[in-house]
Structure 1
Amino acid sequence: MGEKTRLRRTISRWADSTDQDERDLRRTHAEDGCEQIGAAPDRERVRLRGTLRTVTLRPRGGVPALEAELSDGTGSITIVWLGRRRITGISPGRSMSVEGRIGSHDGERILYNPRYELIP
Structure 2
Amino acid sequence: MGLLQSFKDLAKSAAEHEADEIRAATSARVSMTEPLHDRAIGQVCGVVRSVTMPARANVPVLVAEVFDGSTSVNLVWIGRRRIPGIEPGALLSAQGRVAMKRGIPTIFNPPYALLPRS
Same fold (TM over 0.5): yes
The one-letter amino acid paired with 1:75 is T
How far apart, CA to CA, are the structure 2 residues paired with 1:90 and 1:18? 22
Matched with 1:101 is: 97
| Cα distance change on mapping 1:94 and 1:36 into 2, 3 Å | farther
Higher helix share: 1
How many angstroms does 1:99 deviate by? Answer: 0.5
Residue aligning to 1:86: 82
What is the match of residue 6 of structure 1?
Answer: none
Name the count of aligned residue pairs.
Answer: 107
What is residue 47 of structure 1 aligned with on the other side?
43
Give the AA of the match of 1:58.
P
- Structure 1 runs of 4+ aligned residues shifted over 3 Å read 31-34, 59-62
Match of 1:24 in 2: 21
Q: Is the 8 A contact 1:50 1:95 kept in 2?
A: yes
Q: Report the TM-score, using the length of structure 2 for normalisation.
A: 0.79
**Cα RMSD (Å):** 2.2
Structure 1 residue 31: Cα displacement: 3.4
Query: In 2, distance between residues paired with 1:101 and 1:31?
Result: 23
Larger radius of gyration: 1
Of 41, 53, 56, the residue aligned with 1:57 is 53
Q: 1:111 aligns with which of 104, 107, 114?
A: 107
Uncovered stretches (5+) of structure 2, i.e. residues with no partner? 1-9
Give how far 1:104 is off.
Answer: 1.6
Q: What is the aligned partner in structure 1 of residue 72 from structure 2?
A: 76
Distance in 1 of aligned mates of 2:54 and 2:75: 12
